[in-house]
Structure 1
Amino acid sequence: MSSEPGVTIQTFTNLDAEHLTLLLEADPSERIIRDVFTHSRAYEIHTGQALTGVMLLVRPNTDTVEIADISVNRAYRRQGFGSRLIDRAKMETVRLGLRRLEVGTGSTSFGALCFYQTCGFRMDRIERNYFVNRYAHPIVENGITLRDMVRLSWRLELPK
């Protein structure tokens, strides 16, 4: 749960139409979202009764947690709800005894790249042709055909 009155963050286990609608803003493939969901720990953030955002966390390997999908309702963007979800992902990473949280986003997703960096993520690598090889139809964002994924990570820094 969140400490702010009226704002709650909790896990959910049933991917309903409202969750799916939000997640389709982050990933245009319902098939991929449903597949990721079956292997994820899913979080939702509510403001009062309104679903404000969702996040799917997966464990791609033994030492990393990955934000596979994250989306905030357009009416609630730029109000700190995405940052709250990121903070929850960091808390989950630490709770699991891990030090690395990873996220991938499109090379043309300029807003997302800026957002993740303001949340403490650093760029790690580029997966060339990720979107070209994974999606049947081209994705155009900011007037550019999306091809590559930028991978970013946050690492828990331990005191020296």
Structure 2
Amino acid sequence: MTCILSFRIITGDKRPFLPLILCADPEEAVVEQYLDQGTLVAAYCGKVPACVAVVIPVSADQCELKALATAEEFRHRGIASAMIRFLSEHFRGKYLSIIVGTAEPAVSFYEQAGFIRFRTDPGFFTRTYSEPIYDGDFLCRDMIYLRKDL
């Protein structure tokens, strides 16, 4: 199924997107800590949200991608990569860089999108979440931070 993507900044109620956001960040209490302070962007395939991203300000010159999630039926079609390109363009001029924290399985995705590793927070996932977090079969322990200049 081919679709033409359209990107929308969600300015109203963000709660309808919570189930998709929870695919990337599975603990609702953690998501609620940043959802309303961030910019929610949705990539639509027709009328269906295919991918969402939440970006929050970190400082005057840096923002952080807190969540990036693609609906299961739209995965492996380049939509998350298109979202990264959209975010880079959208936030260029507002910030100098964007950072993201992720587990080891997703590092290569971000590196291919132009991000560079700069820090690791050992034990982050076990400290922050009440239940173990898995990415596929991989038990997430350490948060790996990457940065991309905008």
Give the TM-score, by structure 1 length: 0.84
CA distance in 1, matches of 2:34, 2:20: 15
Shifted more, 30-39 versus 43-52: the winner is 30-39
**Identical amino acids, percent of aligned pairs:** 22
Correspondence for 1:99 among 96, 101, 123: 96
Task: Report the Cα offset of residue 142 of structure 1.
Answer: 4.5
* Paired position in structure 2 for 1:72: 70
Residue 21 of structure 2 corresponds to residue 23 of structure 1: yes
| Structure 2 stretches lacking a partner, 5+ long | none
Bigger CA radius of gyration: 1
In structure 2, relative to structure 1, the CA distance for the partners of 1:73 and 1:144 (3 Å cut) is closer
- Which residue identity lines up with residue 54 of structure 2 in the other structure? L
In structure 2, relative to structure 1, the CA distance for the partners of 1:114 and 1:43 (3 Å cut) is same
* Paired position in structure 2 for 1:116: 110
Task: Report the Cα offset of residue 100 of structure 1.
Answer: 0.9
CA displacement, residues 19-49 of structure 1 (integer Å, 9 cap, x when unaligned): 1111111011111112211110110010111
- Which residue identity lines up with residue 147 of structure 1 in the other structure? R
| Structure 1 stretches lacking a partner, 5+ long | none
In structure 2, relative to structure 1, the CA distance for the partners of 1:129 and 1:81 (3 Å cut) is same
- Which residue identity lines up with residue 29 of structure 1 in the other structure? E
**RMSD between aligned residues:** 1.6
Secondary structure in 2 aligned to 1:95? Answer: coil
Aligned length: 147
Higher relative contact order, structure no. (Cα contacts within 8 Å, ≥ 6 residues apart):
2
Secondary structure in 2 aligned to 1:38? Answer: coil
Secondary structure in 1 aligned to 2:35? Answer: helix
CA distance in 1, matches of 2:98, 2:53: 13
Task: Report the Cα offset of residue 139 of structure 1.
Answer: 1.9
In structure 2, relative to structure 1, the CA distance for the partners of 1:32 and 1:10 (3 Å cut) is same
CA displacement, residues 63-112 of structure 1 (integer Å, 9 cap, x when unaligned): 2111110101111112121112111221133131x2211111013xx1x2
CA contact (8 A) 1:89 1:101 kept: no
CA distance in 1, matches of 2:25, 2:81: 19
Residue 132 of structure 2 corresponds to residue 138 of structure 1: yes
Give the TM-score, by structure 2 length: 0.90
Secondary structure in 2 aligned to 1:39? Answer: coil
CA distance in 2, matches of 1:144, 1:55: 22
In structure 2, relative to structure 1, the CA distance for the partners of 1:83 and 1:144 (3 Å cut) is closer
Shifted more, 39-48 versus 7-16: the winner is 7-16
* Paired position in structure 1 for 2:51: 53
